[in-house]
A and B are shown apart, each in its own frame.
Chain A
């Protein structure tokens, strides 16, 4: 009696383990996309439409950051790595060690907007001023053309792609003042700036809203048009890295992202279409 019960339990356990292992092979074609949270929203909306068009394809989209995406591409746990920055030399070396050829596909453009509280009288800043504010040389708004008010510097965690790009484009890789507030996401930065009269922060162009004021950089407004025509200095490319030139289902997906329909989704996600 008990023996048969045990036997059934064991059988059930073995069967369920077997099922779990074999499930992923049921889908005809699967694609794993991993990486930058900035590119995540593009990848996600494109994947949804793409899967509607190809019912036999299963796409899994994950965040984690540019570094995680590229690391996963290198160790072979994803097909496409989303990145909001170009691949680093260190990562390239590591890829070569693992026989992975990181192939760069530019899928969209993104501008970084410098934001202040809506009540702040400052409308524009130069790159030089932004650098001085972030490195601590200027700490009061009256030194940057505003009213007398202490500047509260808000930055991103130093590992995020947005930070890396901002650090390179605006700060010349100089260190952000150590008492700068560090927030973990674009939303958190925008939210903190909207609640702090003396704050300055930076977010992706898609996160601009009426709750904050995006200042002009070197006299150029942070708009999609200015990013496309190249006059806005704080802009960057967004990438999807693949192992070698895209082929097969990976190529189909990348081609879709770059198609008119895909770029329309890029625009909807708050970024600037590449074409």
Chain B
């Protein structure tokens, strides 16, 4: 009897373990099947490097360069915000904060990660956008900068939490050895602890970037949605995700427009895939360097 039970459990859990693989294959397949026709209908070069996005006009234009650049600009802006804040707070929590402060700070930062993105969107529209508009005297507050700021806030918990874990994984012996040879606290931090945890911190940054580039609702609400090639951070732009979200409901099934939205998803998927590969490579390199092995 027990053996049967064990077998059932084993089968059940391996099914669960493989479920994510099945989902991944299913999603990738759907993206390819629905997205690839556009490269035939429009052409890969014209699609990815085309400068105008007018999918519903006669004749239509399916150039997504403005959308790709829109995504990259807000993501870059978000990184400029979330890396100093996230890594800084991780350093503070791990190195400087006392036990009590740490017990309060870390959960608070993690709560930030649990706020739904639409709430961030509301906050952005109602509070941040009008504030930025007045502060910088812009014609409109819905800009790439507003989006960057919101995404930066959203990615901060990811960056902070993983960085803090990485810092706390640095073996105690590393610090002790450094202090023993006469290095002060700052030197120990910058020359020993920081390099030793660099792989984890890099991973946290890349995961933060993945979060930012894939975020949809918030950017749909706060970046304005103008499909132009951005020249400054202080103009409305349109990331890839919000294009899919805004237009998928109305695109005629099976049309070039419909396929092009899937193709945007496919390209987005590749971008986050590349991010993850980079994160993995960095992680390996630093581990080797420190002799930590795999």
Contacts and interface: CB of A to CB of B under 8 A. Distances in A.
Interface of A: 1-2, 63-68, 71, 90-91, 150, 152, 157-161, 163-164, 173, 175, 178-184, 188, 191-192, 195-199
The binding surface of chain A is classed by DSSP as: mixed
Most-contacted residue by chain B among A65, A175, A178, A198 (CB, 10 A)? A178
11 contacts: A67-B251, A152-B139, A157-B246, A157-B250, A158-B54, A159-B249, A159-B257, A173-B58, A179-B236, A184-B246, A196-B139
A66 B250 CA distance: 7
B12 to A, nearest CB: 12
Interface in B230-259: 235-236, 238, 245-247, 249-253, 257
Contacts of A196: 133, 139-141
A71 B66 CA distance: 29
A100 B19 CA distance: 40
A66 B227 CA distance: 23
B252 A184 contact: no
Interface of B: 1, 4-5, 52-58, 66, 125, 129-130, 133, 139-142, 220-221, 224-228, 235-236, 238, 245-247, 249-253, 257
B249 A64 contact: yes
A116 B200 CA distance: 51
Given A158-B54, A178-B66, A178-B228, A91 B129 contact: no
Nearest to A88: B252
Contacts of A183: 225
Contacts of A65: 249-250
Contact of A182 (B133, B227, B250): B227
A159 B252 CA distance: 9
Nearest to A198: B139
B249 A191 contact: no
A179 B54 contact: no
A191 B238 CA distance: 18
Nearest to A192: B142
Contacts of A161: 250
Contacts of A2: 1, 4-5
6 residue pairs, one from A and one from B, having the closest CB atoms: A159-B250, A182-B225, A65-B250, A157-B246, A181-B224, A158-B56
Contacts of B142: 181, 192
A157 B221 CA distance: 13
A147 to B, nearest CB: 14
A191 B1 contact: no
A195 B133 contact: yes
Contacts of B54: 158, 175
B257 A181 contact: no
A191 B124 CA distance: 13
B140 to A, nearest CB: 5
Given A65-B250, A157-B246, A179 B57 contact: no
